[in-house]
Chain A
Amino acid sequence: MKVKMLSRNPDNYVRETKLDLQRVPRNYDPTLHPFEVPREYVRALNATKLERVFAKPFLASLDGHRDGVNCLAKHPKSLATVLSGACDGEVRIWNLTKRNCIRTIQAHEGFVRGICTRFCGSSFFTVGDDKTVKQWKMDGPGFGEEEEPLHTILGKTVYTGIDHHWKEGIFATCGQQVDIWDEQKTSPICSMTWGFDSISSVKFNPIETFLLGSCASDRNIVLYDMRQATPLKKVILDMRTNTICWNPMEAFIFTAANEDYNLYTFDMRALDTPVMVHMDHVSAVLDVDYSPTGKEFVSASFDKSIRIFPVDKSRSREVYHTKRMQHVICVKWTSDSKYIMCGSDEMNIRLWKANASEKLGVLTSREKTAKDYNQKLKEKFQYHPHIKRIARHRHLPKSIYSQIQEQRIMKEARRRKEVNRLKHSKPGSVPIVSEKKKHVVAVVK
């Protein structure tokens, strides 16, 4: 008689070595795993809550400056090195991994207005209130050497900003005009002006490197073409723009940090309407820097906070503040896109995580998959009210909070007035201006 027996192939359930994971056969029949939506919803809710629980973005504070930090620069080759210039003319070079200062230079008399590194990372340039442009070696002076700049250029007017070309030995300064310098020469190879106001910042386009953007105190943003030695176009906004920053992944996109609490992202080919108006700050925005991925940017504001905006969203996704942080003057996103540095009035440079709840260090593969899954769940259920509420919740200092309330009221009042005016006037006589167009005064060719 034949006896029927259960027989299984051990290959299906026995692991080959003890280092392998145990094989767990799984039946994916949907009837066996019911309630997928509610279960995933709960998971998403938990993920969101956990994200908020683990949101501890502040990493370190680098102190040592004896006056407010006025400018910051990244090292192009080393992630751990950061340069900062203070309002007393001191330049410091920091090591982020050790979180200490590795070099101090008394670079200028008065403010250090701008600082930038050479594309190769071998030297850096500073400009100060003493009308000088100085080039320094990145490495400290050798044994028995004096701390001295490689070159010093004495100009006629004060330089308020400096930026270095991304590929060649050229740098640009701004002040009364935009000057373009060859590193080897003591006079500018060309200088470009348009109007007669002081220009506060100049930035090279990182992709199309012959393009420059500058912003002046007469409320305008001017674009220049270095090769043709001519300005290209000028856009005049409601209020002064403090800095601009080019998107490192999209050649024609730049973002301007404005005094009217907003940031404007422009497509340089169509300056009459900004691509996006980013608003959340409650005071003047002083600095802006793009993430090297080009998907987000960080802005520093006079309202003692920094905010992170997605490029395509008008509202910020994150706000960072601490009790002791005063007006934030400069901000930089590190070139591995993981950290943010900000220098503020009260002499400190702070290091933040770009993703508040991100776990630092090496992740195991299971951690990684869990992270990805949670991220996707949060994305998937982001529109659900509970999850949205929890994900959006941020604690704000009272000053900012009350300012927000106040400005909301003001804005509402303005809107109401506009609506009323529209309602009580002859149809067509009062034009409807969109929020984007409202802030652009004119585009000058």
Chain B
Amino acid sequence: IRAAKSLLAPREQEELEDLPNDYPSSTSEDEGDSGGERKHQKLLEAISSLDGKNRRKLAERSEASLKVSEFTVSSKGSGERLVLSDLLEPVKTSSSLATVKKQLNRVISKKTVELPLNKEEVERIHREVAFNKTSQALSKWDPIVQKNRQAEQLVFPLIKEQSAFAPMEHVLNAWKARTPLEQEIFNLLCKNKQPVTDPLLTPVEKASLKAMSLEMAKMRRAELQRARTLQSYYEARARREKKIKSKKYHRVLKKGKAKNSLKEFEKLRKTNPAAALEELEKLEKARMMERMSLKHQNSGKWAKSKAVMAKYDLEARQAMQDQLARNKELTQKVQVASESEEEEGGEEEVDLLVPDAVNEAHMTADGPNPWMVRNHSDDAKEAEIQKDSEQLPEPMANEASESEEEERPVAEEEILLKEFKESQLLRKMSGLNQDTKPVGRQETEDSSTQEVLSKLRGLSQKLNKDNHQCRKQNMGSVRTVLSTQREGPAGEEEEPLLLQRPERAQTLEELKELSKEGCFQNEELPRPALEGQQVERNNQPSAPKKKRKEQMIDLQNILTTKSPSMKSSAVPTIEELEDEQERKQKQMIKEAFAGDDVIRDFLKEKRETVEASKPNDVDLTLPGWGEWGGVGLKPSAKKRRRFLIKAPEGPPRKDKNLPNVIINEKRNIHAAAHQVRVLPYPFTHHQQFERTIQTPIGSTWNTQRASQKLTTPKVVTKPGHIIKPIKAEDVGYRSSSRSDLSVIQRNPKQLSIHHKKQLKK
């Protein structure tokens, strides 16, 4: 059976387990049985009884003596011994006896009835229970009470009552004509069939009144109107635009769109690099699509027809070329790790990912640093110094490059994109040859989106190249274009866009060099003279030397104004700026108070106060007493010495050892009368209190809105409005659903059964 049990599902096991109970007498027989055959039969029986139909079949009785040996009743297989209790078991479980036993138990457990509690005690317990209940019910108000107590402002009445719309007949219902005059009038009205108590409004009217307020309806109508007009307007416009046949118009339109999207991309790139990256990914996807499709290949029907025409028709040839160019463009990779420098590409990536503020330091290499720009505007002279310091400004370089390559064919896109590029100046370096790279690549296209994509692609490519080449070429470009720069310094200064962005020293070696040479060249000629030299030197072939010279001059100038370390630090810090401001401030103050010697004044004042605070000697000499007196005669020194009472020296002053402080030891009682002596209650620290006092709340010091906010009264009541007690429904609680009255009537002055039970406990 056990084996079967383990095999059967738990549900079936249950049934199996209560089998022995059904046949209580058979257990002993089981034990006696030793044959596997019988066991098997039993199992079959059990399984067959599982379906429940023939479950009640009685086991057949067999003679025990046949199977049990005479000497022992033990069973071999299970190894269990027969215990006496096993034999007694049926007695216990028999149902007829169990009931009797239950009754017996009940009789035994019953005790004598306890005396009921005296009335007072019962009442007391009752009260206690009721009190606990009530106080629990009341504690739901705790959060609301707390909130109201701490509220910045409470406006009463708490719930604004809507002015109820009471129709005439409702008002009139309660009214009855009493006086003879009233009755007369009433009769007259009735005679003329004027509505007195009849509903003055039809049900439909009532419903409509309830449905929507007038303002709501008006607003909704206005909204709908506006939507309708807008729709019709857009429809008309679309129709109009559709009608236009001019190809040029559409081309221009497309271009405009392309331009816009380019701009947007640029903006996005500045503000949200992640989104820009996504845009780039889109590009990549477009490329993949293009590579998969045959759209711009030569194999299409149109392309083939054009190919035939191409020999004779210039336009067709052009179109073919366009298409191929498009294909090429679209299939071009976006990011080119050119010249085996993977770093650069990586850097670019980082640039895209990291917000501008973070990689400011990196950006400064090619973009206008806001700090530096401000410096320029602040101090023109310094700007000049910086400009001269290392490298040339970019616009200049650009111009130069353009002038160099004017002969090259410039595609129309170049012009179109010029603005975009200019906005891109931040990123662009003084790359010379790269500018014209995408020439001839971009042509007119059929779909504007593709155009945009391709342009973006081109740009990004160019940027990559620019970026990684910039550093190499920086120096070179400096040298080559220096002459032009020197020639027109005045012209430079006029243009506001000429952001004189100094190229910072980027490597450690350079820095060292700079500092060294700075020291080295300290005693050199002043600047104007040197400039002349430079012009000469520009022509010299030895570029590195020239560069050095430049730096020397620059440094010398800087040393007079600023510390070189500050100058050459990798990131122009805020301190620099602050320093400068401070200096300016100091200068200004110095100028303003040129004549004053504050320190001496202070010392003098201190001396005076110290003197004044010393106790005075008392001179009791009486001139003319015991000797001659008169004009020109003074009492003798001896006498004066004798009658002079020296004042005792007071305690040492608190500021005796503090040279730049005067401590007034006399408390000013006039001021003290207005001062708070003890920290008032709700404050825990004097600073806290002082802060509250020191923040002004008036409109003299605050904007209107702020002062309004600061002076909001704690409790606002409206005149003429009745303030009702707070209600549970108002604050979102469910009020007790049953009315108090009904509860009382249900259980007037008696304890409920529930309570009695509670009392017993």
Measured CB to CB, the residues of A under 8 A from B are 28, 30, 33, 36-37, 39-41, 43, 76-77, 79, 142-144, 165-170, 180, 182, 189-191, 206-211, 223, 225-233, 248-253, 268-269, 292-295, 335-338, 369, 372-373, 375-377, 380-381, 383-386, 445
Contacts and interface: CB of A to CB of B under 8 A. Distances in A.
Given A227-B744, A252-B138, A268-B138, 20 more contacts: A43-B698, A166-B725, A167-B739, A180-B744, A210-B740, A228-B747, A229-B748, A230-B127, A231-B127, A249-B725, A253-B145, A294-B148, A338-B717, A372-B713, A373-B698, A373-B707, A380-B693, A380-B697, A383-B689, A384-B674
Nearest to A211: B134
29 contacts: A33-B701, A36-B700, A40-B697, A76-B722, A168-B739, A189-B741, A207-B141, A207-B725, A208-B137, A211-B134, A223-B131, A228-B133, A229-B750, A232-B131, A248-B723, A293-B715, A293-B717, A294-B726, A337-B156, A337-B717, A338-B717, A369-B708, A373-B697, A373-B699, A376-B713, A383-B689, A384-B675, A385-B675, A386-B673
Contacts of A168: 739-741
B35 to A, nearest CB: 75
A269 B135 contact: yes
A297 B720 CA distance: 19
B712 interface: yes
A336 B719 contact: yes
Contacts of B693: 37, 380-381
A209 B127 contact: no
B676 A383 contact: yes
A79 B720 contact: yes
A169 B702 CA distance: 55
A207 B728 contact: yes
Contacts of B726: 207, 248-249, 251, 294
Contacts of B721: 336
Contacts of B713: 372, 375-376
B711 A373 contact: yes
Interface in B44-96: none
Given A143-B179, A335-B722, A376 B710 contact: yes
Nearest to B676: A383
A170 B743 CA distance: 12
A380 B707 contact: no
Contacts of B36: none
A385 B711 contact: no
Interface of B: 123-124, 126-128, 130-131, 133-135, 137-139, 141, 145, 148, 154, 156, 178-179, 673-677, 680, 689, 692-694, 696-703, 707-708, 710-713, 715, 717-728, 736, 739-741, 743-745, 747-750
A44 B204 CA distance: 61
B350 to A, nearest CB: 43
Contacts of A230: 123, 126-127, 130
Given A248-B726, A385-B673, A336 B720 contact: yes
A232 B712 contact: no
A322 B686 CA distance: 42
Contacts of A79: 720, 722
A76 B725 CA distance: 11
Contacts of B697: 40, 373, 376-377, 380
Nearest to B680: A383
Contacts of B745: 189
Contact of B717 (A36, A233, A336): A336
A225 B720 contact: no
Contact of A226 (B148, B673, B744): B744
A365 to B, nearest CB: 11
A337 B715 CA distance: 11
A338 B133 CA distance: 37
Highest count of chain B CB atoms <10 Å: which of A228, A338, A384? A228
Nearest to A165: B740
Contacts of A165: 740
Contacts, number: 185
Contacts of A223: 131
Contacts of B711: 369, 372-373, 375-376
A251 B138 contact: yes
Nearest to B672: A385
A168 B744 CA distance: 12
A268 B748 contact: no
Contact of B748 (A142, A189, A209, A293): A189
Contacts of B141: 207, 250-252
A336 B741 contact: no
A249 B148 contact: yes
A170 B740 contact: yes
A77 B722 contact: yes
B744 A232 contact: no
A390 B373 CA distance: 59
Contact of B676 (A144, A211, A253, A384): A384
A269 B138 contact: yes
Nearest to A145: B178
A41 B674 contact: yes
A169 B179 CA distance: 31
Nearest to A230: B130
Given A228-B130, A293-B156, A372-B711, A190 B748 contact: yes
A190 B749 contact: yes
A39 B700 contact: yes
A169 B740 CA distance: 10
A258 B743 CA distance: 33
A426 to B, nearest CB: 34
Given A206-B725, A207-B727, A295 B131 contact: no
Nearest to B176: A142
A292 B722 CA distance: 9
B725 A248 contact: yes
B134 A225 contact: yes
A383 B682 CA distance: 11
A293 B723 CA distance: 7
B752 to A, nearest CB: 9
Contact of A142 (B128, B178, B708, B715): B178
B138 A40 contact: no
A380 B692 contact: yes
Nearest to A208: B138
Contacts of B124: 445
Contacts of B694: 36-37
Contact of B696 (A40, A182, A253, A385): A40
A186 to B, nearest CB: 15
A359 to B, nearest CB: 11
Contacts of A385: 673-677
B701 A28 contact: yes
A268 B126 CA distance: 18
A250 B154 CA distance: 14
A190 B744 CA distance: 8
A445 B135 CA distance: 13
A275 to B, nearest CB: 12
A165 B736 CA distance: 15
A41 B697 CA distance: 11
A369 B699 CA distance: 10
A33 to B, nearest CB: 6
B145 A250 contact: yes
A445 B134 contact: no
